[in-house]
Chain A
Amino acid sequence: MRRRDLFKLGGLAALGASTAACGGSGSGSGGDVELQFMYWGSTFEKAAVERMLKQYEQKHPGVRVKPLYTPDEYDVKLNTLVASNRLPDVGYVPLAMSFRLGEQGKLVNLHPYLKKYPQLAGYLPDAYLWTGQDNLHGVATANEIELLWYSKSALAAAGVAPPPADAASAWTWDQLVETAYKLTVDQNGKHPDEPGFDPKQVRQFGISSSITYGAAWYGFLRSNGVDFADEAGKKCLLDTPEAVEVFQNLQDLIYKHRVAPGPGQLAATGDDVPGTNILLKTKRVAMVVDGHWSLLDMNESKVDYGIGVLPKYAEPYTSTQVAGASAVFAGGKHEQEAVELFAFHNDPRYVDLFANGLWMPQEKKYYEDQAAVDSWTKNDLHPPEFRTAVVDYARDHGVPVFGNRVKNMSSISSDVLTPALQEIETGKRPAGEILKAAAPKISSMLQGWQHTQDV
């Protein structure tokens, strides 16, 4: 048995593959360059990224790119690679982790390369990730925003109008709740506001909007006029009345209105909630708040879906830049080629991940210039409402999600924020009580916002 197979047996496939690949690139002959591209994603995304890499190889003879597909425990595996000095050349990096690696000098500063690759210089300002003045350690891989997905047939069956597809006519929260009532049915066909409704035997939930996933509620928070932290980034604002209202409303969807699933209810096998495409296709849920990236899976699994904008409180807002980072890892033998691949890997001119519906471009022109907008949205995979519900919505009503911009987010999230949100989700205590306890703890861990600057 070869060593590589042995590694795989041990469940160390990723490590083993990289070990073997390292050996290969070190002894490569004939000027061949081998790069490694590490990434995560669904199986559809895996195939799409592999196509992108193949295309890169075709355009760059002499360069081979080895895909390191790592669907689970990405941070754990990447951390292990960092600790053992076996970094890939280019790849995705969990956003919070990218700041740490940037500070540690493990990521190439891309600032000097912006002149050479003008497409990198025209990004949406929120896409850039800075470790400090003029130290650009990466970019958010693609732009992603939160949307209100719905099953057309489920809405038609209930005889309700679909959620609006333009921000100007976005639903109020009450309109959302009202519609969700009509869309929630138990095994006997009863709605939550009818006598005899059995909340334990719900056949179809009206709405699912995650409480524990920050990007899903950040738009609501901003729409209600409050942010995660104050301007200095030192005081957490989740205990303000505006924030409490947002979370109480989310909690009420589950326990008061009974139109949304509680913890564990959607799970097929435990925490692995099926993708939004499956939830809508099976009509387990009629409307789901989820990211734009779902579009790829929606199309692949032929869901009869529609896209609406999120409900609003005051100004309509949605989270943008809900993505991981992409970066070039420092210390590789082929930095020039790696940066070249980096500039290529999310350029809509070469990569079909945009037209396929997985990604939204980071370059501003793809939201402003008609021909550029058409280049990625005018196809069968983008429904007619996409222009207003996604392109215009992202451009005019997007707010970059807080998780990317708050320092020390990884500890705040795992030690205080996620547990508090889970408690809200379990519904034993009102949201306000939980947030009043959590906010000061978060404040004590806050270290300000990440550095931002003009390119």
Chain B
Amino acid sequence: MRRLETRWGILMALPAILGFVIFTIGPMVASAWFSLTDWTIGGSPSFVGLDNYTAMAHDELFWKSLGTTTYYTLGAVPLVLIVSFAVAMLLNEKVRGLAVWRTIFYLPTLVPAIANVVLWIWIFNPDFGLLNSLLRQGGLPGSQWIYAESTAVPSLIIMSTWGFGNTMVIFLAGLQGVPRHLYEAVSIDGGGAWRRFWHVTLPMMTPTIFYNLVVGVVGTFQVFNQAYVMTEGGPNHATLFYVYYLFRKAFTESEMGYASALAWTLFMIIMVVTFLIFRNARRWVYYEMAGAR
């Protein structure tokens, strides 16, 4: 009976295991090898050692794309965290039609990525887009949004808040786990809303903030759709995000070897950044159950 269970267990898990091995581990090993070769699609790869990695140091566009991506991450991650935290706090209040509100705020997350991007292209249209129409009605000058170098990345940062639903749900779950007795304690001490937030909500939420921060950073470092569909990396490389540059190297310029090296470099960068965030987290993340770990 037990043997049977084991066998069925493995069998049932097999699709996931196979999927992971074939579609994740396999390509990872392959790309690690490609990154050490000069493989161009259609040609035959020959081993070049770390040449691809050293070439990056002199690749202006590598640095440009890394800078652009960092800029985007530094803007988008905090903004999404703040907005989704704020909305989660509102949705944690007992208001009428709570379920409806929660659904509405989560809805944008369900819009498929490309449909979302196409929608925002219209919102950003300098002539008849939603944003410029609103600004003009308010007597304000419009902006070129994604069509000018200086405003392209900030525009995409604004756009990133649109999909805050997932982060919000996690915050909401975290908020519901904050013990009520702590709030009562503040009230007894005569503390108002601000004290409740500053001395209870925020500290108790640090593990959730931490989680969302890490996931957010990892995600935004891989930003791609917007550059791919909206801007094609332009104007003048203003939105040349790292993964888009990698994609272009791989599939339009066919330099698979170099693109693989770019991919592994990004992997290492994300790993280091995540590690640093973890290290730093000890100073500000509060685990109620810290002793039990």
Contact = CB atoms under 8 A, between A and B. Distances in A.
Contacts of A201: 127
A411 B61 CA distance: 12
The 3 A-B pairs of least Cβ separation, nearest first, read A270-B121, A264-B147, A422-B235
Contacts of B231: 271
Contacts of B149: 423, 426, 428
B122 interface: yes
Nearest to A85: B42
Contacts of A100: 40, 42, 254
B248 interface: yes
B41 A422 contact: no
Interface in B130-186: 132, 136, 142, 144-149
A425 B256 contact: no
B234 interface: yes
Given A200-B142, A426-B144, A75 B122 contact: no
Interface of A: 75-76, 79-80, 82-83, 97, 100-101, 104, 106, 200-202, 262-265, 267, 269-271, 410-411, 414-415, 418-420, 422-423, 425-426, 428
Contacts of B126: 200, 262-265
Interface string B32-51: 00000000111100000000
B253 A419 contact: no
Given A263-B147, A423-B149, A82 B236 contact: no
A83 B148 CA distance: 36
A193 to B, nearest CB: 21
A100 B254 CA distance: 10
Nearest to A266: B127
A267 B125 CA distance: 8
9 contacts: A100-B254, A263-B147, A263-B148, A271-B231, A414-B248, A414-B253, A420-B236, A426-B148, A426-B236
Contact of A79 (B232, B237, B251): B251
Given A264-B125, A269-B122, A270-B230, A106 B235 contact: no
Nearest to A424: B236
Interface string B107-122: 0000000000110011
Nearest to A267: B125
Contacts of A428: 148-149
Nearest to B122: A269
Contacts of A423: 149, 235-236
Given A75-B252, A200-B127, A106 B42 contact: yes
A262 B146 CA distance: 13
B253 A104 contact: no
B42 A425 contact: no
B253 A426 contact: no
Nearest to A82: B42
Contact of A82 (B41, B117, B229): B41
Contacts of A104: 40, 42-43
A271 B231 CA distance: 7
A267 B230 CA distance: 11
A411 B253 contact: yes
A82 B251 CA distance: 11
A270 B118 contact: yes
Query: Which of B122, B125, B147, B229: most chain A CB closer than 10 A?
Result: B147
A184 B91 CA distance: 51
A419 B230 CA distance: 15
